[in-house]
A and B are shown apart, each in its own frame.
Chain A
């Protein structure tokens, strides 16, 4: 049965690592629904968050194949109930004078923020879980979305769950 799952991957902060990881997904036919990457508290590591889909066997294969990459320092399957998941989205929406107030209301309900405006448009910033962003889009669509971009999901374990890199793993 196909399931969605979130992987958090600590990788060495070096050129080409993103290609190594994404090409592994590509050549073995694994799905990437979302990918985000950035620096961590340790400048020698980057952390990637990948949302993927597949049955349990595929999921386990993905994790094991990732662990074979030299630049991958650790891989964690992030449990949905014990993980903080966030994504940031910027939306530029049509906003002529008559509709501005209505859009402002939606922005307030979703605790989003207007970060830029022009006579005919508003740019809104919103963060949250994927479902919140999707719901926001559904509400804003009628006004006419001019441009939209999302960062992809990033994830961190709740409580004291900490992902640490292994430098001396055996491959």
Chain B
């Protein structure tokens, strides 16, 4: 079948099983949009308000489905507007295929209208990128991009398609959807070494990261914890892999992790780190983290081994496969009273949340939402205190239900991501926790949510400040609140109404409960402006580079 490049692109998207993409039209992608118009019965295109929102939407879609998200933008400013979203996906290992148009090849390198070198710009934040220079190779390039985005450690891949490549004719030969390649071979010697290391441990602690969510290894993880009768702490990215009520679960560890998780970690003689890269936010003082205990590191990316933390033993491979192999090999630890020790920590006074929940505050607000959502409803966040409170107080029960920007910490991520996640879940209930700072960054996407009648509830934990920065200013800069008190006069509820959504403002727990009952019954988007104190803090906190000895438990 002879088709134009743009049509081939759309055919390959369909062939690869893509049913929903996000983007924004423009001059350099007119032909692609024309092809999408003709294929609109088979592929849904969601036009966001800004390309950044579209990338975050593709990212959110990918996180909840596990399949690559697709985003399309025009050349120049359209392409540069993708950059934050691509970097965000890169740092959180999210499979993304970003497609940009570019000026025709004859115009490249001449600073033509809306020409930017997007492959150059995105080189450090993609797994790989391509510029299509031969229309006969377009289809295979797109297929390669899908395979690469989803394989191994997932991540974003960008394809830049000059305008003349979109209009040239080529032969389209349909192909089957690509399958991902997943470091299937696990080295037997390293598995034996891992088994021996665990067998010599009395107090193992499982530190579980986003890789466990990505490889759908939740069941294997829980089986390992049962087998070893040992605690699990997670990174923020790893949260949803462990149901909150699992008896082994201690919550998140790290800078804003729970006391129990950090304390148990400090008592362990072995950390079994699974699908994680030991980010500085998660480890704190690296020296203290590694001293006095062994480290077993399991990850699909060989380059993560010994990058931030030097391991005693390591196994490179898909974590689900590795965990299965360990379980099949009868992994065991040394008998000890470890479970009782951990239980003591878990029930200690220090482990209880410092924040009360009998009046309106971040904790009670999140708990009120939590009480009303089903286990597989998706919760997204922006970045700041509200994000950490959500990580601490929301009860995640199913993998892939927590959509948050971990590695890049992108304020403004949440709205686009919630929209993408909502589409990924067939327009099911989705809640976004945000705050005034982040909300103002990309609130424009409220219009997208309204256009598509998405059941996205936005809960603005409104402290009227850049709370997370203010918290640091309080603790480390002697209350010099430089530029973090926003003095916005936005009427959030009226704003939501103006966008065509439904807005509420609440100042008491009772009012919040009522608003939630109403808003969660709506089919379309809604927003609740929740008034909270500007000095509520995310606690506990281990200051940067600190250890459990430095933990701040009370405000």
Contacts and interface: CB of A to CB of B under 8 A. Distances in A.
Contacts of B128: 69-71
Interface in A1-42: 16, 19-20, 23, 27
B151 A171 contact: yes
A57 B120 CA distance: 29
A23 B182 CA distance: 27
Contact of B152 (A16, A20, A23, A170): A170
Interface residues of B, number: 21
Given A68-B303, A170-B151, A170-B152, A27 B183 contact: no
Contacts of B302: 64, 67
Given A170-B181, A171-B148, A171-B152, A19 B307 contact: no
B413 to A, nearest CB: 23
Q: Is the interface of A mostly helix, strand, loop or mixed?
A: helix
A57 B153 CA distance: 22
Q: Is the interface of B mostly helix, strand, loop or mixed?
A: loop
A16 B153 CA distance: 23
B306 interface: yes
B148 A61 contact: no
A170 B183 contact: yes
B450 to A, nearest CB: 40
Nearest to A171: B152
A27 B124 CA distance: 8
Contacts of A20: 123
A19 B119 CA distance: 11
A86 B504 CA distance: 74
B303 A19 contact: no
Interface string B105-135: 0000000000000011001100110000000
Contact of B306 (A60, A65, A68): A60
Nearest to A57: B306
Given A16-B119, A67-B302, A61 B124 contact: no
B152 to A, nearest CB: 5
B310 interface: yes
A35 to B, nearest CB: 17
Given A67-B302, A170-B181, A19 B123 contact: yes
A170 B301 CA distance: 10
A20 B207 CA distance: 33
Contacts of A65: 303
Interface string A108-132: 0000000000000000000000000
A70 B184 CA distance: 18
Interface string B207-227: 000000000000000000000
A61 B119 contact: no
B191 to A, nearest CB: 18
A68 B127 CA distance: 8
Interface in B278-324: 301-303, 305-307, 310
B123 A64 contact: no
Residue from A16, A57, A64, A171 with most neighbouring chain B CB atoms (10 Å): A171
A19 B120 contact: yes
A73 to B, nearest CB: 14
A67 B152 CA distance: 13
Given A61-B307, A70-B127, 5 more contacts: A16-B119, A57-B310, A61-B306, A64-B305, A170-B182
21 contacts: A16-B119, A19-B120, A20-B123, A23-B124, A57-B306, A57-B310, A61-B306, A64-B302, A65-B303, A67-B303, A68-B127, A68-B303, A71-B128, A170-B151, A170-B152, A170-B181, A171-B127, A171-B148, A171-B151, A171-B152, A171-B153
Interface of B: 119-120, 123-124, 127-128, 148, 151-153, 181-184, 301-303, 305-307, 310
